[in-house]
Amino acid sequence: MAQQLDPAKMNQELAVLDGWTVEEDKLTKQFSFGNFREAFSFMVRVAFEAEELGHHPEFFNVYKDVRIQLATHDAGGKITSKDIDLAKRIDAI
């Protein structure tokens, strides 16, 4: 079972992640694109990264805006290193 990140490690990781915040025990980031096609294409690319890691985000999409939230289900819905790894891959997209 994955372990929740301790507050010191969480703060250290947040300092290097671009624009990610913690909201309701989830690592969260809002993305905005030029149009729906770009937003949906981004979600597809994220889906391939997520599937490769076996760790899946929560997507919220309205037109050109995408909100992603990450938490680890087998850690009680808390943030773990799995979420940090996926956030880094998302930022690389």
Q: For the chain, give every domain's residue range.
A: 26-92
Cα–Cα distance between 27 and 87 in angstroms, integer? 8
- pTM score above 0.75: yes
| Torsion sign across C-alpha atoms 91, 14, 53, 74 | negative
Average of per-residue pLDDT values in the chain: 96
pLDDT tens-place string over residues 37-64: 999 999 999 999 999 999 999 999 999 9
CATH of domain 26-92: 3.30.1360.20
Please state the separation of Cα 29 from the chain's center in Å: 7
Assess contact for 33 and 93: CB atoms under 8 A.
no
Residues contacting 69, CB < 8 A, separation 6+: 23, 26, 27, 28, 57, 58, 60
